[in-house]
Amino acid sequence: MQTAIKPEQKRVKSHNLLMSRPDSYDLIYEINAWMHKSNRPDKRLAWDQWNQLHDTLTQKMGANVELVQQAQEAPDMVFTANAGMMLPNKRVLLSHFRHPERQVEEPYFEQWFRDHGFEVLHMAEDCAFEGEGDAFWIGDYMVAGYRKRSDICSHHYLSELTGANVLSLELIDDRWYHLDTCFLPLKDRLAAYYPEAFDHYARRVIQEHFDAIPLSPEEALKFACNSVVIGDQIAMPAGCPNAKFALEERGYKVHEVPMTEFIKSGGACKCLVLQLDPLNS
Ligand code: ARG
- Compute the average pLDDT of residues 101-112: 98
Burial of 210 (0-12, 13-18, 19+ CB in 10 A): buried
d(CA 133, ligand 1 centre) in Å: 7
Domain ranges, ordered by start, for the chain: 12-275
Q: Which atom of ligand 1 is nearest to the CA of 27?
A: 1
Residue 140: the pLDDT is 81
Could you tell me how far CA 258 lies from the centroid of its own chain?
17
Q: Catalytic: which of 15, 116, 178, 255? A: 178
Q: Are 64 and 17 in contact (CB under 8 A)?
A: yes
pLDDT tens profile 160-193? 999 999 999 999 999 999 999 999 999 989 999 9
pLDDT above 50: residue 280: no
Local confidence band at 5 (pLDDT 50, 70, 90 cut-offs): very low
pLDDT tens profile 116-134? 999 999 999 999 999 999 9
Q: Are 223 and 197 in contact (CB under 8 A)?
A: no
116 a catalytic residue: no
Residue 279: the pLDDT is 62
Local confidence band at 139 (pLDDT 50, 70, 90 cut-offs): confident
Question: What's the CA gap between 207 and 235, in Å, rounded?
Answer: 24
Residue 278: the pLDDT is 75
Question: Which of the pair, 24 or 12, is modelled with greater confidence?
Answer: 24
pLDDT tens profile 16-36? 999 999 999 999 999 999 999
User: Across the chain, what does the average pLDDT equal?
Assistant: 94
**Distance of CA 39 to CAs 48, 75, 122, 146, 270, Å?**
18, 15, 34, 28, 22
DSSP code of 192? Answer: E
pLDDT tens profile 201-243? 999 999 999 999 999 999 999 999 999 999 999 999 999 999 9
- Output the ligand 1 site: residues, CB below 6 A: 31-32, 35, 76, 79, 81-82, 102, 133, 178, 180-181, 265-267, 271
pLDDT above 60: residue 2: no
pLDDT above 90: residue 86: yes
pLDDT above 70: residue 10: no
Residue 6: the pLDDT is 41
Q: Are 48 and 82 in contact (CB under 8 A)?
A: no
- With respect to CATH, is domain 12-275 assigned 3.20.20.210? no
Q: Which atom of ligand 1 is nearest to the CA of 266?
A: 5
Q: Which of 98, 148, 271 best tests ligand 1's pocket when mutated (most atoms within 8 Å of CB)?
A: 271
178 a catalytic residue: yes
pLDDT tens profile 240-255? 999 999 999 999 999 9
